[in-house]
Amino acid sequence: MAELHKNLIAGRWAEGAAEIENRNPSDVSDLIGRYAQADNEQLEAAVRSARTALPGWRQVGLEQRQAMLDRIGCELMDRSDELGKLLSREEGKPLAEGKGEVYRAGQFFTYYAAEVLRQIGENADSVRPGIEIDVRREPMGLVAVISPWNFPTATASWKIAPALAYGNTVIWKPANQTPASAWALAEIISRAGLPDGVFQLLMGSGSAIGNGLASHPGVDAVTFTGSYPVGRQVAIAASANLTKYQLELGSKNALLVMDDADIDLAVAASVAGAYSGTGQKCTASSRLLVHEAVHDAFVEKLSSAVSALKVDHAFNEGTQIGPVVSGEQLQSNLEWIERAKQAGAECVTGGNRLERTHQGYYMAPALLTGTTNDMDFNREELFAPVAAVQKIGSYDEGLAIANDTEFGLVAGIFTRSLARATHFRRNVETGCVTVNLPTAGTDYHVPFGGRKNSSSGPREQGRTAAEFYTQVKTAYIRAGDPE
């Protein structure tokens, strides 16, 4: 029987009230492990431990805290081959992507380790004579981290690292689809020297543990990445206690390809943006808005490129697209393809289930053409290796369609016109914009987030993270006159 991996509560590894199996989506006969499921009693114990640990953690010296975070980051980078293979094994992304994700996760920790020593406040003179003002940031307190399965190590790291860097305690509820990567990261953090209760891992269901953390009066802030419907539930639960929340939710990202675009470059970026990670990412280019003057040539080249993508086991040499994460996700993807066809779209390549040597959740990446922006698959996030082309007649039409969505995470444009690129960058209603680049791919030292229903609360990443993980205190001081 596979080893049982336990939760980390109050500095000890604890069995849960139940357990789940974790299987490889590339080969469902491959049992990765068994993982404990926390219950409400353990949640309460974790909250008590985190609150008890807060005062001492705030007093830990900056250099000590910096060294702990740096230790975590360096181990992640040093072990990126090993842990990347584990990540790819349970999530399905190609091995190179899994290794790259773990290495990037390490960079988040080393970046915020450095930020520990850059926590500079402000000072000012009062409008009243003889009074000085000190403005500084202090920890929020106990932060609940609820992270998704599609980037199980990186997304969790860009939340956990700043939370710890700014002096908060953390309870982490990872996604149940990827518990192996979560446990591996938690095990590394557990050996970094943090006092008991500062960081805790609670694996479990979203309805029980996720909602329990979001609604708990002992939690000071909750950061969540996931779907829009679940994010709304988190916001409602947190708001009942006036708990600070940060949500990164759905998307429906547009990529404009103008008549003056470098078509080959645009095709390559569309493949990278729409299909890497099996399309299971919030920055995917799911809507391709292509000028009528280059539409046919673009579709022909893109269709050829998509049909040539190698779909196979995440570990196989040359695999470009692995399986989708689960049987339920695969079924949803195939149903969306059928709905698109019924709505009048043409699936020019892919869209069918694939059989491979191993039994897994394989799907041929799909390209839809003849679509319009009112079709439901151009309105809702699919989280699938599917892109839909819309033909546009002008830049103005393309911009209007790009903005005609309830989401606003990222949008991109391919053009040689500086005027168009500048206008698009300033007028598209998204939190991130790319010019002659894929919509997917962000840096860790600058803000990340969206508008509309894609995000709520302060931005993530970079120094902007301090807006969420800290609170401002303004102090007024009258020193008096020297004797």
Question: Which active-site residues does the annotation give?
Answer: 248, 282
Secondary structure of 115-154 as H, E, C letters: HHCCCCCEEEECCCCCCEEEEEEEECCEEEEECCCCCCCH
Within the chain, how many helices (H) and strands (E) appear?
14, 25
DSSP state of 475: E
At which residue do the structure tokens 């229903």 appear? 453
What contacts 139, CB < 8 A, 6 or more positions away?
Answer: 54, 58, 166, 167, 168, 469, 470, 471
Q: In the chain, what are the helix, strand and coil shares in percent, each to the nearest 5? A: 40, 25, 35
Closest CA to 278 of 97, 430, 106: 97
CA 21 to chain centre: 24
Alpha-carbon distance of 42 to 301, in angstroms, equals 54
Distance from the first to the final alpha carbon of the chain: 77
| Residue 51: other Cβ atoms inside 10 A | 16
**E strands present in 209-358:** 221-225, 244-248, 254-257, 287-291, 346-349, 353-354
Q: Backbone phi, then psi, for 310, in 5-degree steps? A: -85, 120
Rounded alpha-carbon distances, angstroms, from residue 341 to 327, 348, 388: 22, 11, 12
Residues 171/46, Cβ–Cβ less than 8 Å? yes
Instruction: Pinpoint the alpha helices (H) of 351-451.
Output: 395-403, 418-427
Tokens of 194: 């943090």
Tokens of 300: 């022909």
